[in-house]
A and B are shown apart, each in its own frame.
Chain A
Amino acid sequence: MQNKVEVMGLRTYIITRILLTIPTLLLLLSMVFLLMRVLPGDPVALHFEKKAEPAQMDEMRRLLGLDKPLWMQYADYILGLVDINYFIAHGYPNLGKSMQTFEEVGGQIFSAFPATLELAIYSMLIASVIGILLGVASSKKYNSVQDHLLRGFGTVAYAVPVFFLGIVFQLIFGVFLHWLPIGLRISPLVNPPATITGLYTIDSLLEGNIFKFFESLKALILPSLTLGIILSGIFVRLTRTNMLETLRLDFVTAARARGLKESTVTYGYALRNAFLPILTMMGLQFAMLLGGAILTETTFSWPGLGRYIVQRINFRDYTAIQGAVVMFGLFVTVVSLVVDILYAYFDPRIRL
């Protein structure tokens, strides 16, 4: 049990990290603003490919607030993002309006985000379990046939294009075996659960509807398995490398010498110490997934953020793209914060 000093240390660390996140976020938001306003030129001109009538471009600038002085636009931009009243009223931050439909970009992003989050969670779970278990198994039989095979799996898994693996799974499990749906978030014959979190599996459980939970899970199997297997390739190799180093350390030998079971030595001692770099990688990969797994979402007709961003790019909808970049930056920042906190929890040395 942690003593009072250690708890205070962790608490201080957490508070410090949260406070440090604020200037990080401010820097991120400012950089996004500058990139969209200054470096590539006028987003309205780019939207119209610099060939629109001046009146047409001026009207769009006026509607989007782009006719104001730069400092005023920046102020509106930052104040809009931190507008608590807007957030409370809408449930999402003020990210401006779409250049194509003039709908709230925040609304569009947050309507697509739950699907992406759900896919990311299950994919990461699969990737972690497969990657870590296989990585450990590989490290235990160093330089054996098993080791080579598992390393090979790790390489192949990461190299396979996600759409290829996805289509193969769709053909096998959907078209030939008719075991699983090839796309969409839930069977068309089942009404989605009432929206609480937007994650169908969680909302089904909150609704107490086990049938919907399993229907949602069924729809998640193929896309999360596809993405999970591909990501597991990274974790296999990373786990193997870290475990090989850790298994050579004296404390592991000492643990074995004390007569502890091999599984306890491996998972209770070695893996715990080798886990931290894996945790960092998990955080990074999860943050990437939150930006939308474009190919997976397209392959499995998953209505997530990835498909949204591709559509907005096709329409050259720069305000929507800006909003998506801001949200992606926020996700990465938050996930990094969580990883750092978990890191500090697992490794007290970090807090010193």
Chain B
Amino acid sequence: MPERIELATVVLVLVGIIVSSGTMIYTANVLSNVSTVSSDVATLTDSVANLTSATRDLATIMEDFGASVADLKERLAEIEASLAVRETLIVGTTDSVELTLDPAQAYDYFGWCIIQQIGSTLVSVKPGSTTGADFVPELATSWTPSTDLKTWDFDLRQGVKFPDGTTFNATHVKYSFDRAIALIPKIPEGAPAGLGYDAIFNRTEVVSTYKVRFYLNFPFSPFLGILSARSSAIVDPKYAPLPWAQVNYTAGNARASTPLAFVGSYVLSRWERVAGRDVEIKLDANPNYWNLASGYPKLKHIIFKFYPSAAALRLAIEAGDVDMAFRHISPTDVLDLETNPNLRTWWGTGAFIQYFCFQEKRAPFNDTRVRVAVAAALNRTAVTETVFLGLAKPLYSIIPPGMLGHTEAFQELGDANYTYTRSLLTDAGYSPGNPLTFKLWYETSGHYPSSEDQALLYKEAIEAAWPGAIQITLEGRDWAAYKTARDQEIMDAYVYGWYPDYVDPDDYSFLYWAKWLHTNYDTVNPVPYQQQVDLYDEARATTVEATRISLYAQIDDIAVDQCSVVPLYVSSAWAVTKPSVYGIFLDITQDMRYWLISK
């Protein structure tokens, strides 16, 4: 038994030794591992510390990076802003769209100006033209009139797109002209009515997808002029749907405010009116413009800002608030600004005229002698030098200089020809004891330039012809009342003005007897009236320049004899810009082609 206990003890001891050894080895391993772990932990701790430090560094770098990004953004914004400034032209004006941008209604200068930028016609006048007869293709690429000038075929430009992708074609041309003519009864004051579309056009025919034919009621040589007028701009049927109606301004929606197809150099992106007057118009470059390949438009954005007076506009251009001031800087201001080294003044040919009208249905101007007498007493030079400081020129024919058919016919009567005036008035029975008395009306709300000043000088000149024998009272009215008074035929003598609808003597010569002037020339003097109308129709029916010149000269001669409408002066055109602005053409069309302007 004791051997077994000894054996068991030895075994136990051995086991114990083994276990202990194993434990010790294990413990040693563990300790070793712990040591390794500790070392690893230490390493890890170091790493974490490093990581933390690195993270902090990274945060600092990120911060700097963020600051750099912010700097970069700021710098980018500055660059963008300066690019935006260079790509944007801000135009200051005292003008305003009168009512709409609908070619079936708009008949005011500024409305037509905007229509020209955003719409397109089949043809237009070449920029810089001196005669207004240099027609260039626009939406039409070529044209062929018939020999009798009553049928005109136009080949249309292909590949022109509306903003929604619709391809322009002959149906759009027919739609536009049919609409313009159909709306004449509803919009009698609109341009198509004023230009006589219903009398001129017989019908429009789609010959093929890109060919359109116009049939006219009579031979009409100035037809291209009519087609270049803004009333002939193409409309988008989507925005001028049937049944046809005038498209009016819609607050907050520039696209809905005009029926025009945006095929011009710009699109109307913003139009803001407050209480019936424009506050801002913004045009953006049209990405679908058919002439993009030629590099037009030069500027991406045109912004029009509206000022209430010429004085405010002058201050705006001097302060640099606008890049360009156009219509109307007064003659005094523009001559002063010409000496400003920080500004640039642009001068151009004028085609705006003013003329004297007589009411012929009653005394005293139902007597031709009295009309001629007053016309001979006028002193045009006094007005052009005193009121317009030489920026207007005396006009002796209703057709302005530079245009086909211009003459100096009224030089026959002269200026301040007091001897002639007295002799005619004596024949008519007037004298200091029986003076000629009448009212001279003028417009007071700035529709025409310096109307009151002009009226004073006209009065002064006419009364000076025979002191005491001529007594003139001046009557001023704002534009709305002036037009109404004209229509009511209550004005004895009045001054009116005319901008060209299209640059052709056809658009001027008729002013001698224009019925909307309400002079009653046609009813009181039917014979000379008819003579002039016959000559006018003959001039329309031929393209031979020499013939037209002769015919218009004959019309002028009759006009001198009758003096129902007496031309007074033709104005120059001018604009003032910052020196960085280029590309302004002030030609005989009076158009401002903003797509040509660059900075």
Contacts and interface: CB of A to CB of B under 8 A. Distances in A.
Interface of A: 48-49, 51-53, 98, 100-101, 103, 108-109, 111-112, 115, 167, 170-171, 174-175, 178, 181-184, 188-189, 191-192, 195, 298-301, 303, 305, 307-308, 311, 314-316
B488 A53 contact: yes
Question: What interface size band does chain B fall in?
Answer: 35 or more
A108 B279 CA distance: 13
A171 B318 CA distance: 9
A189 B308 contact: no
Given A52-B488, A101-B99, A182 B316 contact: yes
Q: Which of B270, B280, B319, B478: most chain A CB closer than 10 A?
A: B319
Contacts of A314: 445, 478, 480
19 contacts: A48-B484, A49-B481, A49-B484, A98-B276, A108-B275, A111-B273, A112-B275, A175-B315, A183-B315, A188-B303, A191-B270, A301-B306, A301-B308, A303-B275, A307-B277, A308-B276, A311-B276, A314-B480, A315-B478
A56 to B, nearest CB: 8
A198 to B, nearest CB: 10
Interface stretch (B31-39, B83-91, B525-533): B83-91
Contacts of A307: 275, 277, 308
A195 B270 CA distance: 14
Dominant SS among interface residues on chain A: loop
B319 A181 contact: yes
B485 to A, nearest CB: 7
A174 B312 CA distance: 12
Interface in B225-274: 251-252, 270, 272-274
Given A51-B490, A115-B274, A301-B307, A315 B315 contact: no
B90 A170 contact: no
B439 to A, nearest CB: 13
Contacts of A315: 478, 480-481
A101 B485 CA distance: 18
B250 to A, nearest CB: 12
A167 B314 CA distance: 12
A238 B448 CA distance: 47
A136 B490 CA distance: 62
B319 A174 contact: yes
Given A111-B274, A174-B319, A301 B312 contact: yes
Contacts of A184: 305, 321
Contacts of B308: 298, 301, 307
Dominant SS among interface residues on chain B: mixed
B161 to A, nearest CB: 27
B312 A183 contact: yes
Q: Which 6 A-B pairs have the closest CB atoms?
A: A174-B319, A308-B275, A112-B275, A303-B274, A108-B275, A188-B90
A314 B485 CA distance: 15
B309 interface: yes
Q: Which of B85, B252, B306, B316: most chain A CB closer than 10 A?
A: B316
Given A305-B275, A308-B276, A316-B481, 19 more contacts: A49-B481, A51-B484, A51-B485, A52-B484, A108-B275, A111-B275, A112-B274, A175-B315, A175-B318, A178-B320, A182-B315, A182-B321, A183-B307, A188-B88, A188-B90, A298-B309, A303-B274, A311-B277, A316-B480
A49 B441 CA distance: 15
Interface string B466-503: 00000000000010110011001010000000000000
Contacts of A178: 319-320
B274 A183 contact: no
Interface in B280-328: 280, 303, 305-309, 312, 315-316, 318-322
Given A111-B251, A174-B315, A301-B312, A189 B85 contact: yes
A213 to B, nearest CB: 17
Interface of B: 81, 84-85, 88, 90, 99, 251-252, 270, 272-277, 279-280, 303, 305-309, 312, 315-316, 318-322, 445, 478, 480-481, 484-485, 488, 490
Nearest to A180: B319
A308 B478 CA distance: 15
Q: Which of B321, B445, B481, B485: most chain A CB closer than 10 A?
A: B321
A77 to B, nearest CB: 21
A183 B325 CA distance: 14
A305 B308 CA distance: 14
Contacts of A171: 315
A307 B279 CA distance: 12
Nearest to A187: B321
Contacts of A303: 274-275, 277, 279
A270 B312 CA distance: 45
A188 B484 contact: no
A189 B303 contact: yes
Contacts of B490: 51
Contact of B276 (A103, A115, A174): A103
A285 B355 CA distance: 48
Contacts of B85: 189
A301 B76 CA distance: 33
Nearest to B488: A51
B145 to A, nearest CB: 41
A189 B91 CA distance: 11
Contact of B275 (A182, A183, A311): A311
A104 to B, nearest CB: 11
A22 to B, nearest CB: 29
A178 B252 CA distance: 32
B478 A183 contact: no
A211 to B, nearest CB: 10
A301 B478 CA distance: 21
Contacts of B274: 111-112, 115, 303, 308
A307 B276 CA distance: 11
Contact of B90 (A51, A182, A189): A189
Contacts of B84: 189
B274 to A, nearest CB: 4
A121 B445 CA distance: 31
Given A51-B490, A98-B276, A308-B275, A188 B305 contact: yes
A191 B251 CA distance: 15
A42 to B, nearest CB: 15
Nearest to A49: B481
A189 B88 contact: yes
A101 B478 CA distance: 15
Nearest to A103: B276
Nearest to B98: A101
Nearest to A112: B275
Given A181-B319, A183-B315, A307-B308, A109 B480 contact: no
Contacts of B319: 170, 174-175, 178, 181-182
Contacts of B88: 188-189
Nearest to A114: B274
Q: Which of B279, B303, B485: most chain A CB closer than 10 A?
A: B279
B324 to A, nearest CB: 11
Contacts of A181: 319, 321
A300 B481 CA distance: 28
Contacts of A101: 99, 276
Nearest to A317: B480
A109 B274 CA distance: 9
Contacts of A98: 276
Contacts of A170: 315, 319
A139 to B, nearest CB: 39
Contacts of B280: 188, 192
Contacts of A195: 252
B198 to A, nearest CB: 23
Contacts of B252: 195
Nearest to A303: B274
Contacts of B445: 314
A303 B272 CA distance: 11
Contact of B316 (A109, A183, A308): A183
Nearest to B480: A315
Contacts of A308: 274-276
Contacts of A51: 484-485, 488, 490
